[in-house]
Structure 1
Amino acid sequence: MDVLSDVITLMRTGRPLTARERKCGPWSERHGPFPGAGFHVVLRGGCWLIPHEGGPIALGTGDVVLLPRGTEHALAYSPDLPYAGIPRADHAPLEVSPRADAEVVPLGRTDGVSVDLLCGAYQLDQDRTHPLLAEMPDIVHLPATVGSRPGLRSAVDLLGADLEQARPGSSAALTALLDLLLIYIMRAYTEDSADRPGGWGWPVALADTGIATVLHSMHQDPARPWTVQELGAQAGLSRAAFARRFTSMVGQPPLAYLTWWRLATAARMLRESEAPLAVIASRVGYSSQFAFANAFKRQFGQAPGGYRKGRRDELQLTGTEQTAG
């Protein structure tokens, strides 16, 4: 797998949620905060995104928005609606229930519709937030531009069509399409950020052939006893030059990132598999279960066995709540 796919696989938990709605103005609704990543796609018409901090953002047909940390925000017919429910310096805080001012109209109706929206959220494990996601802004706005991001546009069109009319296989297709949408959004963000003058951080690291090769090697074989010199040779740089370049782009020294990746991978295995602790320790590069347990506890604040049990209990509780709902 490539690094971006690894990042998404590492963080994702549960099934993504989504809904398609049409609204008539004036309307507003509040979203978040949510322990994951939210997204909005404007399929037709326009509206405003009102963040908790900062100025309102105009959204038009084809625009895509990702909120990597599920930040509280509102969507509204107009940027001047104080009843969007977001306490802000320029609005008097009002007690408004989420979505209370939104008029949802049937998808079959087209008269008087101000906007056709696709909204949803991805559940993310907050203990395994990858540095790529952590350094993204609270709001990633990808405006529609003719001829740009054809893959993203195709995913949006397929999602909208599947949500508008249920067909055989829609449930499986929806999950796959939502995963595809997240990949295309993050790909667009990293590519756009890497192309900006003075760009830095993970987008630039993924666009740098040498650093991207090293990241891929770490991800593909975390158990290997990598040295900075070996990694630098893969990047075609001296040990010192590689260490400086990697740290400036990724935000951590090479071996510190490798340790983080090993333990984050172990956390996913603890949650998703029944593999014994000794097997997991070996697969992520620890020579003994004791050394692995100590490193894991330093990173996550609890022993691997306790982490596994706690996450299994959470998963069962979530499944029960979804079934009851």
Structure 2
Amino acid sequence: MKLLDIYFSLKSDIDAVERRLLDEVHTSQRPLKKASAHLLKAGGKRIRPVFVLLAGKFGTYDLERLSRVAASLELIHMASLVHDDVIDDASVRRGTPTVKAEWGNRMAMYTGDFIFARALRLLSDIPNLEVHQLLSKSIVSMCEGEIEQIRDFYNVDQNLRTYLRRIKRKTALLLSISCELGALVAECPRPVVRALERYGYYAGMAFQIIDDILDLTSTAAKLGKPVGSDLRQGNLTLPVLYALRHSPDRQRLRTLIHPEITDSEAIEAIEIVNRSGGLEYAAALADRYMEKCLAVLDKLPKIEARRQLEGIAHFINERDH
């Protein structure tokens, strides 16, 4: 099943989520409205809203409630991207200038805070205490993960466990909570809620590892940002960590990774990583997460939504951008 077919089957409901997103970034403050709209128009895969909607198919499907959850989680994701771009000093995302690049750090931070607040307000009408408790816990964990990432910038001595905890909090957690909250709002049976939560977690871990591989192997045109952006910004991903331990040139690589890294040093570092076996190691780990992701689907009822979730998992594993 192709990803476009899945999105097309959900088009009217995704459109409802998009309308909510547009409504939520509206404000009488023109600079804030322009910055928020700029971020929204930059687009994205909208995979979190799709996970919410598909999870809802396993229970009582109420688009009014599910679209609130879907839009809220996408807004939280958007807010985190704005803050990330300030922290990473990023000028381009998805091929377009970042809010930080267009309006500066201060406006970017206010925009992120505004979007985040809108997300919480939008979800406040959901009368389910467990939804709010789970989301609050997840947001705390995400923030802790961001602090850990900043702490470990350019740290060549960090280990695999640190990396896995970081990507869980950075990516997998929000995908996992998208599936879980969609299922809870749809009043799915507990075993179904748990299986969907696990699906989102495993898919999220694979998604981020593949992202980290593509950051080193894809093109700037496909990525919408410079190749090796993570390495240049000091965010050391799995292929780099592998190379730092197993490459014959690991000592040279250690000297290349520093806060003032130049373009030529970044290119040399990427070359060392790419021939170290780190890409293959990372791909094998992503495959293991994807196997777990697909296996947990066997615990779900055999409905069309399950087939669509399987299709998304295959897309995640095979994508090139």
Fold shared, TM-score > 0.5 on shorter chain: no
Question: Highest CA radius of gyration, 1 or 2?
Answer: 1
Using structure 1 for the length normalisation, give the TM-score.
Answer: 0.30
Using structure 2 for the length normalisation, give the TM-score.
Answer: 0.31
Bigger relative CO (Cα 8 Å, ≥ 6 apart): 2
Considering fraction of residues, name the structure with more helix.
2
